[in-house]
Amino acid sequence: MISDYQSFTADLQLSKEDICRELYRQNTDMIRVKKEATAIRSLARIIDSTLRLANTKGFHAMTLRDLCADSELSMGGLYAYIRNKDDLIHLIQTHGFILTRRTLLHYTGAVTMPREKLYEAIKAHLFLSELMRAWFYFSYMEAKSLPEDEKQRAITMEREIEGIFCGILEAGISNGDYRSDNPRLLSSLIKALLQDWYLKRRKYRDQQVDIDTYATTILNLIENHLIP
Amino acid sequence: MISDYQSFTADLQLSKEDICRELYRQNTDMIRVKKEATAIRSLARIIDSTLRLANTKGFHAMTLRDLCADSELSMGGLYAYIRNKDDLIHLIQTHGFILTRRTLLHYTGAVTMPREKLYEAIKAHLFLSELMRAWFYFSYMEAKSLPEDEKQRAITMEREIEGIFCGILEAGISNGDYRSDNPRLLSSLIKALLQDWYLKRRKYRDQQVDIDTYATTILNLIENHLIP
DNA sequence: GTCTATAGCATGATAGAC
DNA sequence: GTCTATCATGCTATAGAC
């Protein structure tokens, strides 16, 4: 169970290194660097820089020269890790998918009561998107210009997440916690609210709304609607 | 007062031509075509094509050759209307601002009771974004890569809209219609829900949720929260 | 007022030295 | 394993014919 954002951050051994190791091993075909240690270090830098630059000017507007400058690699060096610009997208998306799937399932799997579970799912998604804001932002903003296979992967992931929320609402309706309503529509609305947190992060910072307040506000909004 | 989407569409004389005429007259410095009638016709085509292409592949990825092909102008012809690619953004943004401001003020100005006014504002925004979906989508997605002055204009417009909703909620709280709460945060959440309608249009089409249902769902969500 | 042709430049990608 | 140097492409923007 998650108590608040502080404890979540401590809990989740974010260990970017672990994920980069997995990334490296999954992509030995396109990565031509054989020494794992250096490869992992470079991959982390490449992903980091790409996310930063792409989120500022857009992925297409970001040139590979920009990326090389920011990640402190040469053009030749970069091309040891990717075959072309689209491979960058693949690396980044895979990296985010692994972490998101792992985290959401872990935290919602630990609870069974619908109301409690809804709160856990909201917090897990929100907190994760806070920690990985750059990835969530990238993934949302570049979705429309992804290569076709990546687009499909992204849609599947989206459905999976909305399915989690929808399942919780359905369970709550059938066990009488919630009144009868359209769970699919409501889970879409919850998702929209969760997304606004990382899409319009600055707005909430200006309003001095903190993440725990945001989580409870969403929960209250939904519960006041579903519990007469 | 707006009754439903059908009547709204009929009401609003969308007359793109009127707006293009205004656009033309406001931008005689950069438009080198002197015959108003042809200029207006071309402007409408240019804006239309730009929105379509930019929303598919992104504004930066859209080349001016793409645009010329789609709008049936030559490169030289196009450059009679703009000085550079950024001028396209200016045209499009101005065009949307004029229409949005005009519509929202018109429909919310006609009502005074907060609860009624909230419903009108939700409908006006939602219906407008449905009619002008391409513009709203463009404006949201390209916001981060706008030239600095355009970015400021966009932020001002955003604030104006959120201010309208916030004002309504505050009025409702102080006249006792709503219980006391954080109106600024709530108006941000309302905005997020309104945005999801045009950002994820396909999702709601797949769910077979129509626009009038969406409007009442948002209203109910907020009222169930604010009216105990 | 609109066209075709082209200048000038920045980009993605590669070859080959170290 | 990483670098510098270079190629081919495709872009924005303009010049000049009609």
The percentage of residues in chain B with a pLDDT greater than 90, rounded to a whole number, is 89
Tell me, in Å, how far CA of B203 is from C1' of D6? 48
- Over residues B97-117, the pLDDT tens digits come to 999 998 998 999 989 999 999
pLDDT class for B11, splitting at 50, 70, 90? confident
Q: Do B209 and A185 touch (CB under 8 A)?
A: yes
Best A203, A213, A223 residue to mutate vs chain B (most B CBs within 10 Å) = A203
**Does the pLDDT of residue B14 top 80, yes or no?**
no
Confidence of residue A13 (pLDDT cuts 50, 70, 90): low
Q: Give the C-alpha separation, B219 to B228, whole Å.
A: 14
Contact list, A218 vs chain B (CB under 8 Å): 189
Is the pTM higher than 0.75? The answer reads yes
Average pLDDT over residues A55-82: 97
Distance CA B20, CA B13 (A): 14
Chain B residues near any Cβ of chain A (below 8 Å) = 55-58, 60-61, 141, 144-145, 182, 184-185, 188-189, 191-193, 195-196, 200, 203-204, 207, 209, 213, 217-218, 220-221, 224-225
Per-residue pLDDT reduced to its tens digit, A112-166: 999 999 999 999 999 999 999 999 999 999 999 999 999 999 999 999 999 999 9
> Is B13's pLDDT higher than 70?
no
For residues A167-192, give the mean pLDDT: 98
pLDDT in tens, B144-170: 999 999 999 999 999 999 999 999 999
Spelled out in words, what is the top-level CATH class assigned to the domain B5-226?
A: mainly alpha
Q: Which nucleotides of D are covered by protein (CB under 7 A)?
A: 1-6, 10-16
The answer to whether residue B63 scores a pLDDT higher than 80 is yes
Q: Where are the domains of chain A?
A: 5-226
Distance A46 CA to D11 C1' (A): 26
Which pLDDT score is estimated for A187? 98
Q: List the single residue in A with minimal CA-CA distance to B199.
A: A192
